[in-house]
Amino acid sequence: MQNRRLGKSAIVVSEICMGTMTFGSFADEATSLRILDRAFDAGINFFDTAEGYPVPPAPHYAGRTEEIFGKWLKSKNRDAVVLATKVSGPSHIWFSSPLRASRTALDRHNITRAIEGSLKRLNVDYIDLYQTHWQDPEIAHDETLQVLDELIAAGKVRVIGSSNDNAWGLMKSLATAEKLGVARYQTIQNNFSLNNRRFEDELANICRREGVSLIPYSPIGGGVLSGKYCRDEKPDARFTRYVEMGGRQAEMAARYRNSKSLASTTRFMDIAAEAGMSPVTMAVAWSKQHDFVASTIVGATREDQLDEIFAAADLELSADVLAAIDQVSADIMYPMG
């Protein structure tokens, strides 16, 4: 397992990060703990969670994922684990958070309450990477960054990062941090996969020029790039359940699983087969094979999903495979919109 630096910080992490957003919902505690053990034994030292996990968001179990991770971490050397978590963004922008009576925001009050809650659930005295889960474009970055900088000064956080941000938001935050003389975002966590390459349009160039690392989530396109939705119209999987739930979850399922994304996935499966690997392995390898990526966040709800993911650890895709992938992306542009 290779290691890479988070932005311009002193923190170096494994190039694969274990995500945890289904721990406590689709994956029970026992399964979650086994997955964490398998990831750690495979050389992964970077783990990502959030105060609002697991998904789908619900008040009755919000925070459960951090509790499970905290239980697992008790058996490990804290210094051997790079822990990332997130403070929820504003409930009135993207979706209504299950936390704090759905009155979450990126102000001093909410960030202070969020970090104290996460530290308690995780049973730690510091977070390595603390991220704003989603952004509020209607407020200034000043208060958010000042509070986060104070958390670093207090020793509760080592570095900070953004998530689900756009090019304007990232550049505005960097400029604000420079103006105020406070800590800057070292990372950005956005959706990035074979089926969603929009990050390359503008944000990739910002990351290169400003020294910010992408830690992409959903490299397997929410499981779509495994091909399971191509083989079975209704597999026992997350987006099948999301469609049945309706509302925002059904809308999310439609974004990930649609005629264009299934058509591109079918072609990616053919490329992977010709190259002698699974489409999951190819998708993860492709994600981490970018100069602006520090670590690719993967997820699993079952142990048997891990082997294909871990097979990408030391894999570098050939120029021919990359060219074939680029041709699919040119023929079927922006499958996820």
* pTM across the whole model: 0.96
- Whether residue 134 lies inside any domain: the answer is yes
pLDDT surpasses 90 at 248? no
Decide: 335 and 260 in contact? Cβ < 8 Å. Answer: yes
**Residue 242 is among the residues annotated as catalytic for this protein:** no
Please list the residues that pair with 157 across neighbouring strands: 127
The span from the CA of 201 to the CA of 198, in Å, is 5
Q: Which of 49, 51, 48, 53 is nearest to 24 (CA)?
A: 53
Q: What is the pLDDT of residues 85-108, one digit of tens each?
A: 999 999 887 778 999 999 999 999
In the chain, how many domains are there?
Answer: 1
Q: Is residue 269 part of a domain?
A: no
- Per-residue model confidence (pLDDT) at position 136: 87
pLDDT tens per residue across span 3-59:
999 999 999 999 999 999 999 999 999 999 999 999 999 999 999 999 999 999 999
253 assigned to some structural domain: no
Confidence (pLDDT) at 233:
73
Q: Which domain holds residue 104?
A: 3-189
As a whole number, the mean pLDDT across the chain is 95
Residue 252, pLDDT score:
84
How much is the pLDDT for 143?
95
CATH of the domain at 172: 3.20.20.100
Is 236 part of any domain?
no
What pLDDT does 96 receive? 83
At 189-239, the pLDDT tens digits run 999 999 999 999 999 999 999 999 999 999 999 999 999 989 877 877 788
Rounded mean pLDDT of 318-322?
98
The confidence band for 242, taking pLDDT boundaries of 50, 70 and 90, is: confident
pLDDT category of residue 68 using cuts at 50, 70 and 90: very high
Catalytic entry in 53, 130, 242, 256? 53
Asked if the structure places residue 212 within a domain, the reply is no
Q: Which residue type is seen at 119?
A: L
Query: What confidence score (pLDDT) does residue 234 get?
Result: 80
Task: Express each pLDDT in 250-281 by its tens digit.
Answer: 888 888 999 999 999 999 999 999 999 999 99
Element spanning 153, H or E: helix 142-153
Q: Is residue 113 part of a domain?
A: yes
Angle formed by the axes of helices 64-73 and 29-41, nearest 10°: 50
Tell me if 230 is assigned to some domain.
Answer: no
Alpha helices in 15-107 (DSSP H): 29-41, 64-73
Q: Round to whole Å and give the CA distance between 161 and 6.
A: 10
Write down the pLDDT at residue 138: 81
Sequence-ordered list of residues with C-beta below 8 angstroms from that of 215, at least 6 positions apart, any chain:
6, 17, 48, 84, 161, 187, 188, 189, 293, 294, 295, 296, 297
Q: Examine residue 234 and state whether it is found in any structural domain, yes or no.
A: no
Mean per-residue pLDDT, 145-169: 98
